[in-house]
Amino acid sequence: IVSIIEEQKSQYPGVVIEVTPIRDYILKQEGAHTFGYVSEINDTELEKMKDEGYKSGDIIGKFGIEKIYDKELRGENGGQQVEVDVSGKPVQILGRKEPVPGDDLELTIDIKLQQAAEKAVDEQLTQIGAHAAAAVVMNPQTGEILAMVSRPAFDPNLFAHGISSKDWNQLNNNPYHPMDNKTITGEYPPGSTFKIVTGTAALTEGVVTPDEQIFDSGHHWIIPKGNADGEALGWLNFRSALAHSDNVYFYEMGNRLGIDRLEKYARMFGLGAKTGIDLPYEASGLVANRRYKEKNFDDGEWYLSETFDAAIGQGFNLVTPLQAAMVMGEIAADGKRYKPHVVNRIIAPDGSVVKDFQPELLSQLDVPEEDIKLVQDGLHDVTKYGTAASSFRGFTVDIAGKTGTAENSQGRDHGWFVAYGPFDNPNVVVAVIVENGGYGSQSAVPIGRKILEAAFGLNQDGGDKK
């Protein structure tokens, strides 16, 4: 049709041919929150970006890597200056500007692992009747993000042609917020996954020795807070308390440490601050601390019961799934914290490498090596005889893990699972949260196991082949 009109321009004086680039997201919802989407620039964006060469009608990245790397991806428009006669017929071309293609991005995402993670999340949500979840898989030795799933999701193609009000309302009115990348914007109480921080702090500060036995009668002796379902586990040392996720033991660790030292170690692990991942709209989470309470509550006094809550990851504490993965990753990498990233390389149209993203060490835990080793051993025991043991029976790769259940005032509790493997030389960390999924061992662990199976090639189909 274009050729016919171009050949017979004189017959169609009012018709102008314009070429518009259209993004086609061939994977549809798969990886949607990582890729993001493009759409026409709006007035606010134009006002802010016109000095950078953006103009009305431009298609720009609005979300995900499309937004962060828009300048690299967009290239430069071409065009020509044409002299026409009175009837609009071209007489001669006065000038031509060749278009310049944008750079390509090579991601750290492993497509088979991404597919396996999405499938695992979808199957589990269907099975337990939950609607929202997030999972992130990372290499703790480099910070490379290997898979990232947020549910519910959306199809970025809806935005490429300008989204209809019907589609927009459907997305906007969904109570489970499909447009949020829950792996980096969802803030949840970390639940028992926070015991990694509390345990590390208690050992390093010397408030407990690894062999000291503490008696769990089902509730603490100062404040009658106890374990889920009133469980009483008797005498416990550090490793067994971590393996069985014993609240009473960790309440006592909070009691001995106090909130200020708990806060110090949480921040040392990088909590309460953005990780700096190359995706937009990342949330900071929140570390329980005195100043926060003073600022936000009429009764600004800090109570011991709030320290108890903080020690087991409840109360004011909030983390994103990525932050939970980072905490586990630091234990896996012997205290090193690498900046997470989803882009591996930026490649020019001629194939040359514009930028190669190397692992970036953000910090190192100021903690004795033997204390990290004790935490590693406790987390290893979780999958051997602790809270995730039944789910990892017969698993041929050695895994360290931690389950968690985050209390939720709005409904059923959220279920957590964080893990890393292989235990001796970890190159995979997984964090999973299922909103309103109940106990982490029942809702999040099955997803984590399937993701780890795919990561280590233990699953039969290796995800959908494409």
Using the structure block, give the residue that is written with the tokens 């404040």: 223
Question: How far apart, in whole angstroms, are the C-alpha atoms of residue 160 and residue 166?
Answer: 15
Q: What is the mean pLDDT of residues 371-392?
A: 91
DSSP three-state, residue 424? coil
Q: What pLDDT digit, counting tens, does each position of 5-30 carry?
A: 878 877 877 787 777 767 888 888 99
Structure tokens at 303: 């109570």
Cβ atoms within 10 Å of 37's Cβ, excluding its own: 22
Q: Pick the closest to residue 319 from 184, 417, 136, 419 (CA basis).
A: 184
Q: Specify the fold of 111-455.
A: Beta-lactamase (3.40.710)
Q: What pLDDT digit, counting tens, does each position of 282-332 carry?
A: 999 999 999 999 999 988 899 999 999 999 999 999 999 999 999 999 999
* pTM for this prediction: 0.90
The beta-strand segments (E) located in 111-236 are: 133-138, 145-151, 214-216, 234-236
Cβ atoms within 10 Å of 419's Cβ, excluding its own: 29
Question: How far apart, in whole angstroms, are the C-alpha atoms of residue 80 and residue 68?
Answer: 30
Residue 466 confidence (pLDDT) above 50: no
Residue 367 one-letter amino acid = V
Classify the C-alpha dihedral 4-6-9-15 as positive or negative. positive
Least confident of 190-204, 211-225, 449-463: 449-463
Question: How far apart, in whole angstroms, are the C-alpha atoms of residue 305 and residue 300?
Answer: 14
Residue 462 one-letter amino acid = G
Residue 463 confidence (pLDDT) above 60: no
Q: How much is the pLDDT for 286?
A: 97
Q: How much is the pLDDT for 460?
A: 59
Residue 421 confidence (pLDDT) above 90: yes
Structure tokens at 147: 């898979």
Q: What is the mean pLDDT of residues 329-338?
A: 97
Q: How much is the pLDDT for 455?
A: 95
Residues facing residue 404 across a β-bridge: 416
Residue 195 one-letter amino acid = K
Identified catalytic residue from 150, 192, 240, 441: 192
Cα 153 versus chain centre, distance? 14
Q: What is the mean pLDDT of residues 336-360?
A: 95
DSSP state of 226: B
Question: How far apart, in whole angstroms, are the C-alpha atoms of residue 294 and residue 288?
Answer: 11
Active-site annotation holds for 240: no
Q: What percent of the chain has pLDDT over 70?
A: 97
Residue 461 confidence (pLDDT) above 70: no
Rg (CA), the chain: 26
Q: What pLDDT digit, counting tens, does each position of 75-108 carry?
A: 887 777 888 877 667 778 888 888 888 899 999 9
Residue 181 confidence (pLDDT) above 90: yes
- Burial, 369: exposed, middle or buried (Cβ in 10 Å; 0-12, 13-18, 19+)? exposed
H-state helical runs in 247-320: 247-257, 259-268, 290-296, 304-311
Which of the four pLDDT bands, split at 50, 70 and 90, describes residue 462?
A: very low
CA distances for 466 relative to 30, 121, 131, angstroms: 12, 19, 27
Residues 6+ apart with CB under 8 A from 450: 116, 117, 119, 120, 123, 459
Question: How far apart, in whole angstroms, are the C-alpha atoms of residue 321 and residue 24?
Answer: 29
φ and ψ at residue 258, rounded to 5 degrees:
85, 160
**For the chain, first and last CA: distance in Å?**
33
Q: What is the DSSP string of 62-101?
A: -SHHHHHTHHHHH-B--EEEEEE-TTS-EEEEEEEE--B-
CA distances for 250 relative to 68, 81, 94, 137, 365, angstroms: 41, 73, 77, 27, 20
Using the structure block, give the residue that is written with the tokens 């011991």: 304
